[in-house]
C-alpha cells in the first residue's frame, strides 16, 4: 500500500539491482538469462547494419538467425516431439529478450518462427506438423507469412488472392486476381523463403467460403522461383533492412488438396467443404485468434526497445554535466539533477515498468489459453482484446520513448553509434505491423461495446453499431467489468461515492484506480449513447460509426490504460514488504499520477478533478521524480541490457553519479 500522506518526508528509496532483475525476469528467468548470455556474441550485427550493403547485411542477418536457431532459443513454443521446448510462455520471454539486440534479427526470427511457424502449428494439423515443423524449427526450411496485400492490410476478410479447388486434379489453384491483390511487405519473401503460408479466398464448387490459409512453395532448394510465382523486392525501407520484404504474385499456381491448413475447415477428396464451425465469421475470427502470439510478441519488443533507450539516456544523464549552478565548487550540474530532465525521462521510465508488468500478465494468459488451462471462448476473446490493446500502447511507448531519449542525449544521440538512429528506424513500423494500432483499438472497443457476445465474431463495424443501438445504454455499461467494480471503489473513497475531489492521499492506488475506471466507464457509455442516438435519428450506420470512431478509440484506450495500471498495482501489492516494494510503489504512483495529469483537462471537464487538485497532482509528479532520481540508475540497470548491446561509448562510458 502506498504511503497515505504527502505532508511528511517519505523514506529514501533504495534498490537491490539483482533482486529487481529477478523480479522483472519472473517465471522465465532462466530463459531470459540464456538469451542475454547469447546476445553479446552477435553485438557486431549492430555495426554491420550501418556498414554493410543491404544484400550483404541480409545474408549476415540470415546467418545469425540460423545460428540462434541452432541453440534452441527460438523454438521454445513448438512441441517437443519436433525439436521445440513445448512452452509458449518461454518463447515470448526469449523473443522479448532478443529485442535488446539488432531488430532485423528479431523481426526475421519473428517471421520465421512466430508467423510462418506459428501459422503451420496453429492452423495446420498433424500432417502439416510432420511435414514442416522439424525443418522450420531447425532453420533448414525458411518460409514467410503471406497475408497482407497491396490493397488490403487490416481488412483481411476482403483479400483478393483466390484459391479455387479443382476436384478432378485434387488441387487448389492459387491466383492473384488483380494488381492490388499481390501479397506485399512480406518478410523473408524477397530472398530467403522457400515456402509461404498464403491467405486466400477459398472457392469450392463455385461457392466462396472466406479466407483460409494454404502452404504454397515459392522456390526450389537452389533458390530458383517456381513456375507461376513472381517475386519482387520491396526495396529499401526506413529501417529493418536486414529483413528481405517482398511482393508475391501467383498465376494459376497449383498445390495439392493437403496443402490447406485444415484445423478449422477442410475439403474432402470428393470436393466437399466441411467445417465444425458453421458461421463463416466465427470461423474467420477463430482462425485469426490462434495467431495472437504475433501481437503479444511485437508489444513485448516495443517494451524492450524502450528499456534499451532509457538505459542509454538515463546513464548519459548521470554523467553529462551542463551549466554552472553557482555552487561553491563551481561544478556544472548533472543533467538528471535538472527537474525538466527528470520530467522528460522518469515518467516514461515508470510507464515502461507498467507496460512490462502488463505484458507479463498478457504472456501468462496467452500461455494458459494455448496450453489448454483456460481453453474457453471467453478467455480466448479476452486474450485477443488484451493483446490488441497492449500491443498498441507498448509500440506507441517505444516510438515516444526512443524519440524523447534521443533528444535528451542532445546531438550525441543523433550519432548512429549511440543506437538511437537504429532504434528509431527499426521500431517505427511496430505501430502498424501485426495490426495498425488504431485498428487494434477499434477491435478492443468493439469487444467492450458488445461484451464479446455470442454474435461478436460475426459483427463487423456496422453490425456493432446496430447491435449497440438495439440495447439500452445501461445494458452496455452493466456488461463492463469497470462498471461492476466501480461502486466498490467509490465506496472506498473518503466521503463516499460523491467525493472525487477530497483530501484523499494522492498516492493511494485505490484513488488512481477509481479515476482510471471512471474514465473508462464514462467513455464506453458515451460511445454507446452516441451510437444509439445516431441510429435513432435515422442516420446510416456507416456514417454513425465514422462520426464516433474517435470516441471508440478513446474508450478502448481508457480500457487498456486501466488494465495496465491494474497489472502494476497488483504486482506491487503482491510483493513482500521491503525496500524494493517501496521503490516500485513510488514508480507505480508516478505512472498513475502522470497519466491523470496528462488527461487532466478531461477529468476537469467531467467534474472528477478540481483545478486545485490538478495542481496538487502536478506538484506530486515533480516530487516523485525527485524522489526516484537517486535510484534511476538502478531502475534501468534492473532491465539487464547486456553492456555490449548498448554501444553508445560516448554516452555511457563515464562515471555515473
**Would you name the residues annotated as active-site residues?**
434
Q: Alpha-carbon distance 482 to 479, whole Å?
A: 9
CB proximity list for 530: less than 8 A, separation 6 or greater: 544, 547, 548, 551
Query: How many CB atoms neighbour CB 572 within 10 A?
Result: 23
How many residues comprise the chain?
Answer: 657
Name the strand (E) or helix (H) holding 510: helix 509-536
- SS3 of residue 321 by DSSP: strand
- SS3 of residue 229 by DSSP: strand
Q: Alpha-carbon distance 307 to 300, whole Å?
A: 11
Residue 50's closest CA among 419, 526, 599?
Answer: 419
Give me the phi and psi of 655, to 5 degrees please. Answer: -80, 125
Distances (CA, A) of 442 to 430, 474, 527, 630: 17, 21, 12, 41
Residue 465's closest CA among 565, 406, 543?
Answer: 543
Residue 386's closest CA among 427, 443, 467, 348?
Answer: 443
Q: Which long-range contacts (CB under 8 A, 24 or more apart) does 457-460 make?
A: 457/279, 457/281, 457/282, 457/284, 457/285, 457/286, 458/279, 458/281, 458/282, 459/281
Residue 498's closest CA among 617, 614, 612, 608?
Answer: 608
**What's the burial of 447, exposed, middle or buried (CB within 10 Å: 0-12/13-18/19+)?**
buried
Distances (CA, A) of 321 to 42, 405, 419, 656: 33, 16, 21, 11
C-alpha cell at 440: 487494434
Amino acid at each position: 500500500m502506498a504511503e497515505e500522506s504527502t505532508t511528511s518526508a517519505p523514506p529514501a528509496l533504495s534498490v537491490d539491482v539483482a533482486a529487481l532483475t529477478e523480479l522483472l525476469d519472473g517465471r522465465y528467468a532462466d530463459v531470459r538469462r540464456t538469451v542475454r548470455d547469447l546476445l553479446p556474441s552477435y553485438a557486431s550485427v549492430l555495426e554491420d547494419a550501418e556498414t554493410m550493403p543491404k544484400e550483404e547485411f541480409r545474408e549476415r542477418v540470415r546467418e545469425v538467425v540460423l545460428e540462434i536457431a541452432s541453440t534452441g532459443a527460438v523454438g521454445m513454443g513448438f512441441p517437443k516431439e519436433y525439436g521445440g521446448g513445448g512452452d509458449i510462455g518461454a518463447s515470448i520471454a526469449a523473443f522479448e529478450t532478443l529485442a535488446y539486440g539488432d531488430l532485423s534479427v528479431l523481426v526475421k526470427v519473428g517471421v520465421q518462427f512466430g508467423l510462418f511457424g506459428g501459422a503451420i502449428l496453429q492452423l495446420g494439423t498433424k500432417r502439416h506438423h510432420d511435414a514442416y515443423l522439424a525443418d522450420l524449427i531447425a532453420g533448414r526450411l525458411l518460409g514467410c507469412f503471406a497475408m497482407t496485400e497491396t490493397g488490403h492490410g487490416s481488412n483481411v476478410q476482403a483479400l483478393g488472392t483466390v484459391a479455387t479447388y479443382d476436384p478432378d486434379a485434387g488441387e487448389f489453384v492459387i491466383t492473384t486476381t488483380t494488381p492490388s491483390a499481390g501479397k506485399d511487405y512480406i518478410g523473408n519473401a524477397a530472398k530467403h523463403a522457400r515456402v509461404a503460408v498464403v491467405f486466400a479466398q477459398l472457392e469450392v464448387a463455385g461457392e466462396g467460403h472466406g479466407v483460409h490459409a494454404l502452404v504454397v512453395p515459392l522456390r526450389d532448394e537452389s533458390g530458383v522461383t517456381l513456375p507461376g510465382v513472381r517475386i519482387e523486392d520491396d526495396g529499401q525501407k526506413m529501417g529493418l533492412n536486414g529483413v528481405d520484404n517482398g511482393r508475391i504474385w501467383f498465376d494459376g499456381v497449383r498445390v495439392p488438396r493437403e496443402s490447406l491448413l485444415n484445423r478449422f475447415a477442410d475439403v474432402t477428396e470428393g470436393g466437399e467443404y466441411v467445417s465444425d464451425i458453421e458461421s463463416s465469421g466465427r470461423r474467420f475470427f477463430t482462425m485469426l485468434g490462434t495467431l495472437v502470439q504475433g501481437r503479444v510478441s511485437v508489444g513485448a519488443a516495443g517494451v524492450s526497445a524502450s528499456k534499451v533507450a532509457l538505459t542509454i539516456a538515463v546513464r548519459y544523464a548521470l554523467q553529462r554535466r551542463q551549466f554552472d549552478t553557482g555552487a561553491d565548487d563551481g561544478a556544472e550540474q548533472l543533467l538528471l539533477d535538472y527537474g525538466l530532465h527528470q520530467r522528460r525521462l522518469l515518467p516514461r521510465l515508470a510507464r515502461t515498468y507498467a507496460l512490462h508488468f502488463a505484458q507479463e500478465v498478457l504472456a501468462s494468459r496467452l500461455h494458459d489459453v494455448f496450453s489448454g488451462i483456460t481453453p474457453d471462448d471467453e478467455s480466448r476473446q479476452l486474450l485477443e482484446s488484451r493483446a490488441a490493446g497492449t500491443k498498441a500502447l507498448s509500440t506507441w511507448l517505444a516510438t515516444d520513448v526512443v524519440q524523447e531519449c534521443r533528444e535528451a542525449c542532445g546531438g550525441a544521440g543523433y550519432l548512429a553509434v549511440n543506437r538511437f538512429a537504429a532504434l528509431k528506424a527499426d521500431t517505427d513500423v511496430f505501430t502498424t505491423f501485426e495490426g495498425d494500432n488504431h485498428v487494434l483499438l477499434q477491435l478492443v472497443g468493439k469487444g467492450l461495446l458488445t461484451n464479446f457476445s455470442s454474435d461478436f465474431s460475426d459483427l463487423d463495424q456496422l453490425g456493432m453499431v446496430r447491435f449497440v443501438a438495439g440495447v439500452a445504454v445501461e445494458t452496455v455499461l452493466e456488461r463492463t467489468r469497470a462498471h461492476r467494480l466501480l461502486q466498490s471503489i467509490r465506496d472506498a473513497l473518503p466521503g463516499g461515492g460523491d467525493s472525487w475531489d477530497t483530501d484523499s492521499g494522492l498516492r493511494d492506488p485505490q484513488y488512481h484506480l477509481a479515476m482510471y475506471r471512471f474514465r473508462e466507464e464514462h467513455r464506453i457509455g458515451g460511445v454507446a449513447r452516441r451510437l444509439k442516438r445516431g441510429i435513432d435519428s435515422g442516420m446510416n450506420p456507416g456514417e454513425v460509426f465514422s462520426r464516433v470512431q474517435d470516441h471508440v478509440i478513446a474508450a478502448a484506450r481508457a480500457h487498456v490504460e486501466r488494465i495496465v495500471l491494474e497489472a502494476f498495482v497488483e504486482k506491487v501489492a503482491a510483493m513482500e514488504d521491503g525496500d524494493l516494494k517501496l521503490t516500485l510503489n513510488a514508480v507505480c504512483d508516478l505512472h498513475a499520477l502522470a497519466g491523470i495529469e496528462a488527461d487532466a483537462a478531461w477529468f476537469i471537464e467531467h467534474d472528477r478533478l478540481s483545478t486545485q487538485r490538478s495542481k496538487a497532482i502536478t506538484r506530486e509528479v515533480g516530487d516523485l521524480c525527485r524522489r526516484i532520481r537517486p535510484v534511476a540508475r538502478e531502475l534501468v540497470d534492473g532491465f539487464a541490457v547486456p553492456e555490449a548491446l548498448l554501444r553508445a561509448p560516448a554516452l555511457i562510458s563515464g562515471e555515473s553519479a
